[in-house]
Amino acid sequence: MLQSEFAFIDGLRARAARETRQNAELRHGIGDDAAVLRAAANCETLITVDLLVEDVDFKLEYTPPRWLGHKALAVSLSDIAAMGGRPRFSLLSLGIPRACGTGFWEEFFDGYFALAAEHGVTLIGGDTSSAPGGLAIDSIQLGECRQGAAVLRSGAKAGDEIYITGSIGASAAGLRLLLGGKRVRESEDDLTQQALRKHLRPEARVEFGWRIGEEQLAHAMIDVSDGLARDLAHICAESGVSAEIDASSVPISPEVSLVETDAEKAFELAVRGGEDFELLFTATGAKAKELVKIAGETGVVVTRIGEVIERSDSALRLRRDGKSIPFASRGFDHFAG
What proportion of the chain, given as a percentage, has pLDDT over 70? 90
Dist CA 318 CA 306 (whole Å): 9
14 lies in a domain? yes
Contact 119, 76 (CB under 8 A): no
> In terms of domains, do 176 and 303 share one?
yes
Q: Which of 120, 146, 172 is the last residue of a domain?
A: 146
pLDDT surpasses 90 at 326: yes
pLDDT surpasses 90 at 7: no
Q: What residues does 318 pair with on adjacent strands?
A: 245, 325
332 lies in a domain? no
Q: Give me the phi and psi of 202, to 5 degrees please.
A: -70, 155
Q: What residues does 154 pair with on adjacent strands?
A: none
If one counts the domains in the chain, the total is 2
pLDDT surpasses 70 at 159: yes
Nearest to 207 by CA among 95, 86, 320: 86
First to last CA, the chain: 35
> In terms of domains, do 93 and 210 share one?
no
Task: Give 58's contacts (C-beta < 8 A, 6+ positions apart).
Answer: 52, 68, 71, 200
CATH number of the domain that 317 lies in? 3.90.650.10
> In terms of domains, do 53 and 180 share one?
no
Dist CA 169 CA 270 (whole Å): 4
pLDDT surpasses 90 at 38: no
> In terms of domains, do 32 and 90 share one?
yes
pLDDT at 20: 63
Dist CA 29 CA 36 (whole Å): 7
pLDDT surpasses 50 at 139: yes
CATH number of the domain that 119 lies in? 3.30.1330.10
Q: What is the DSSP letter of 54?
A: B
pLDDT at 2: 62
pLDDT at 337: 47
Nearest to 32 by CA among 124, 96, 122, 139: 124
Q: What is the DSSP letter of 32?
A: B
Nearest to 245 by CA among 258, 235, 254: 235
Q: Which of 97, 130, 146 is the last residue of a domain?
A: 146
Task: Give the residue numbers spanning the domain of 43.
Answer: 5-146
> In terms of domains, do 102 and 233 share one?
no
Q: What is the DSSP letter of 241?
A: -
Rounded to 10 degrees, what is the CA torsion of 269, 273, 278, 284?
Answer: 70
Q: What average pLDDT does range 255-266 have in this prediction?
A: 97
DSSP helix/strand/coil, 184: coil
Q: What average pLDDT does range 63-81 have in this prediction?
A: 98
119 lies in a domain? yes
pLDDT surpasses 90 at 275: yes
Rounded to 10 degrees, what is the CA torsion of 61, 67, 73, 79?
Answer: -90
Please state the separation of Cα 230 from the chain's center in Å: 15
Q: What residues does 128 pair with on adjacent strands?
A: 94
Range 243-257 burial, b when 16+ CB lie within 10 A, else e? bbbbbeebbbbebbe
Q: Which of 146, 163, 182 is the last residue of a domain?
A: 146
162 lies in a domain? yes
**240-251, pLDDT tens digit by residue?**
999 999 999 999
333 lies in a domain? no
> In terms of domains, do 138 and 178 share one?
no
331 lies in a domain? no
pLDDT surpasses 80 at 15: no
DSSP helix/strand/coil, 252: strand
334 lies in a domain? no
What proportion of the chain, given as a percentage, has pLDDT over 90? 82
For all residues of the chain together, what is the average pLDDT? 92
pLDDT surpasses 90 at 258: yes
> In terms of domains, do 48 and 114 share one?
yes
The model's confidence at residue 231, banded by pLDDT at 50, 70 and 90, is: very high
> In terms of domains, do 215 and 198 share one?
yes
Q: Give me the phi and psi of 70, to 5 degrees please.
A: -60, -50
> In terms of domains, do 220 and 311 share one?
yes
Nearest to 111 by CA among 202, 21, 206, 205: 202
Amino acid residing at 57: D
> In terms of domains, do 83 and 167 share one?
no
28 lies in a domain? yes
pLDDT surpasses 80 at 239: yes
The model's confidence at residue 37, banded by pLDDT at 50, 70 and 90, is: confident
The model's confidence at residue 22, banded by pLDDT at 50, 70 and 90, is: low
pLDDT surpasses 70 at 333: no
Q: What average pLDDT does range 2-17 have in this prediction?
A: 69
pLDDT at 41: 85
Q: Annotate 127-187 with three-state secondary structure.
A: EEEECCCCCEEEEEEEEEEECCCCCCHHHCCCCCEEEEECCECHHHHHHHHHHCCCCCCCC
Dist CA 205 CA 129 (whole Å): 32
Contact 83, 216 (CB under 8 A): no
pLDDT surpasses 80 at 26: no
DSSP helix/strand/coil, 185: coil
Dist CA 104 CA 311 (whole Å): 50
Q: What average pLDDT does range 109-131 have in this prediction?
A: 95
The model's confidence at residue 99, banded by pLDDT at 50, 70 and 90, is: confident
> In terms of domains, do 119 and 68 share one?
yes
> In terms of domains, do 86 and 211 share one?
no
The model's confidence at residue 35, banded by pLDDT at 50, 70 and 90, is: low
